[in-house]
Amino acid sequence: MLEFPFVASRRAFALCAPASPADRLQYHVDPVAGFCITDVTRMPKLKTHKGAARRMKYSGSGKLMRTRQGKSHLRRNKSKRAAGEFDEMFVVAKADLPRLRRLLPYAK
């Protein structure tokens, strides 16, 4: 097992450099906390927009489907046909797809 020196110096940094390019860890010496290792190879996680995730889903054929706006309340004042249409899912417009795909990076 490697023992990391807790000395804030250039020599300590050079001693603990990764052995191969596959071990792409960034090492730095923090005088207060000691030796720190940070993985720099991974991209940061993309966050799903929860509001969009609740309103949209992908269909079986791979199309992004959305719900209608205005379905949560005041439905008694709508005609029966209009109120029934709120239960349907609609295909998202082609112009909106790139923006919405960024909001739902892991949606299937």
Q: Is the pLDDT of residue 18 over 80?
A: no
**DSSP per-residue codes, 11-30:** HHHHHTS-SSTT--EEEEEE
Span 32-83, pLDDT tens digits = 766 666 666 778 889 999 999 999 999 999 999 999 888 888 888 889 898 8
Q: Over the Cα atoms of the chain, what is R_g?
A: 26
From the list 23, 25, 27, the residue with the least C-alpha distance to 15 is 27
Asked whether residue 97 falls in the same domain as residue 56, the answer is yes
The number of distinct structural domains making up the chain is: 2
Type and span of the H or E element at 56: strand 56-58
Asked whether residue 66 falls in the same domain as residue 94, the answer is yes
Q: What percent of the chain has pLDDT over 70?
A: 63
Mean pLDDT lowest among 14-18, 84-88, 93-97, 101-105: 14-18
Structural domain of 24: 10-39
Say which CATH number the domain at 72 has. 4.10.410.60
The predicted model scores a pTM of: 0.55
Mean pLDDT of the chain: 78
Would you call 83 exposed, middle or buried from its count of C-beta atoms within 10 A (0-12, 13-18, 19+)? Answer: middle
Give domain status of residue 33, yes or no.
yes
